[in-house]
Every structure is written in C-alpha cells, then in structure tokens.
Chains A and B, each alone.
Chain A
Amino acid sequence: MNDDNRKKLIWRIASGILSGVIMGIVYCVISVILPYFIRNALSMRYEELFRFPYEEPMFILFTMMFIALGIAITIFQKHPISVSLRLVMLILTIYLIVEGMNWGIIKTQVIYGNQYAVISIDVSLLMYMLIILILIICIFSLIEGFTRSTTEN
C-alpha cells in the first residue's frame, strides 16, 4: 500500500467515524433530548427546560449506543449488515420517543390558586409526528444503505 492509498484509507475511516458521531448525535437529539424538552415544557417545569439529564446513566448509555451505531453504520455502509443496524437504530429511536413522551399522555401537578391541580395532556399527535419524521429519515437511509450494499455486491 503506497502513501496515497494509506492516506485515503485513513481519511475514509476518519470521515466515517466523524459522520457516524454526527448521525448518532442527531438521532440522540430527536429521540432523547427532544421528547425530554417537550415533556418538561408541557409539564410546566420551565426551570428544568434546558437542564438535560447528562448525569443520568441511561442518557449517557443511549448517547453512546447511538454514536456507536452511527459509526458502525457508516463504516459498514457498503455491507448488508448496515441495513440491520439502521433497523436497530430505528426501533431504538421509536422506543425512546414513545417512552420519553410517556406513550402520548403527559401528566403534571401545578399549583392552581392555593391547591394542586392535576393536568393531563394528550400529546399523541405530536408523538406520532416525531415518529413519522424519524420513519421518513430511516426509510431514506435504509433505501440508500440497501442500494449501496447491492451495488457493491
């Protein structure tokens, strides 16, 4: 392997890792941070609105999982396994959106006058919109991954 080929290979790996990290972060924002933000906004916990749960072990775990999946997808993008990895990412994302938005019903307690009122908000529509958005992104990404893997083989 000459120097040029080695440089190209290093560049491909580095750019693959970088785009994988970016993909992981984007998925993490859509599936973890956005539902958390919506839930806090609708629960009227405005003081916690921008305080994301960085310290929570599950949040760190999911972020790492998304980044790892993103890197794996970009590295194996020409291999059929990338299609399965994209499906895993899709299922994980939908699960986190649904769980993060409490299956579409957000409940909170607020002080109303001098008493506590229980507020229940049905945000199923917002949840379905997020799921449709992620499905559209994933379908395009699956088609792209499938096309790449079949053209390579």
Chain B
Amino acid sequence: MPLIQFSLDVLNNPEALSFKFSVIDFDVREGIVKINVTTSYRGRITLKDFKIVVMNKTLDFGDLRPGSDVSRILSVSMRDVKRLLSKGLTLEFSINGLYYVTITLPGGKYSE
C-alpha cells in the first residue's frame, strides 16, 4: 500500500523529505527578499501536487518524483523574514491522487 510505504520511508529516513531555504536576492529599495526553497525527495512513492504553504503563500512544486530536487522562489518582505522561520509551514500533497496528506511543521529550526 503506497500510503504505508511513504510513511515507512519518512519514518526510517527523516531526510527522505527535506527542505532548504536560501536567500538568493535582496532588494533594499523595495524591501523584498527572494528566497530559494528547495525540496529534496528521496522516498519511493511519487507525491502528486506537492505544495508548501508558508505565511499564507502557496508554492506549487507539481509532482515530486523519487530522487528529485525541485526549487521555487519565494518573495517576502524584509520584516517577514524572521517570521518565516518561526511561523512553521504546511505541506500538502496526494499519494497516487487517492490519499490527501497534510503535514504541519511547527516553526523554529529549519535553517541556519
């Protein structure tokens, strides 16, 4: 069953689904910070319609296939950058288009 296979993958290897946030651009005049959000997936089941909801913004990653690294750009105002780390994020995806999964991660310690 793909759902159990996915949960086993994540339990056995917490790094199977990981994220990296890195600042790529910094516009002082506009007060906008562009952040590159990279999702790395090392599980065995394709995650369909993978989305990250962070600070009321939805980043659509499409389908995450095993072994894929997908990046999206997130633009936030400078004052929201600190809140970004403390707010936490929500992951939404479906397994085989049948089971809809929502994972809510609390804010705090995602990146250095």
Chain A partners chain B: yes
Asked if residues A114 and B109 are in contact (CB atoms below 8 Å), the reply is: yes
Question: What residues on B are CB-neighbors of A125 within 8 Å?
Answer: 98-99
Q: How far is the CB of A117 from chain B (nearest CB, A)?
A: 5
Question: What residues on B are CB-neighbors of A123 within 8 Å?
Answer: 3, 99
Question: What residues on B are CB-neighbors of A119 within 8 Å?
Answer: 101-104
Proximity bits, B95-112, A CB within 8 Å = 1, else 0: 000111111111011000
Question: What residues on A are CB-neighbors of B102 within 8 Å?
Answer: 119-121
Q: Tell me the B26-55 residues at the A interface (CB within 8 Å).
A: none
Instruction: Give the size range of B's interface with the partner.
Output: 10 to 19
Q: Tell me the A34-86 residues at the B interface (CB within 8 Å).
A: 41-42, 44, 46
Asked if residues B11 and A115 are in contact (CB atoms below 8 Å), the reply is: no
A selection of 15 A-B contacts at a CB cut-off of 8 Å is A41-B4, A41-B7, A113-B14, A114-B109, A115-B105, A119-B102, A120-B101, A120-B102, A120-B104, A121-B3, A121-B99, A121-B101, A121-B102, A122-B101, A123-B3
- Given A112-B105, A115-B108, does the pair A42, B100 have CB atoms closer than 8 Å? no
Question: What residues on B are CB-neighbors of A121 within 8 Å?
Answer: 3, 99-102
Task: Point out the residue from B98, B100, B101, B109 that lies within 8 Å of A115, measured CB to CB.
Answer: B109
Asked if residues B14 and A112 are in contact (CB atoms below 8 Å), the reply is: yes
- The chain A residue sitting closest to B110, CB to CB, is A113
Question: What residues on A are CB-neighbors of B108 within 8 Å?
Answer: 115
Q: In whole angstroms, what is the CA distance A125 to B108 when docked?
A: 35
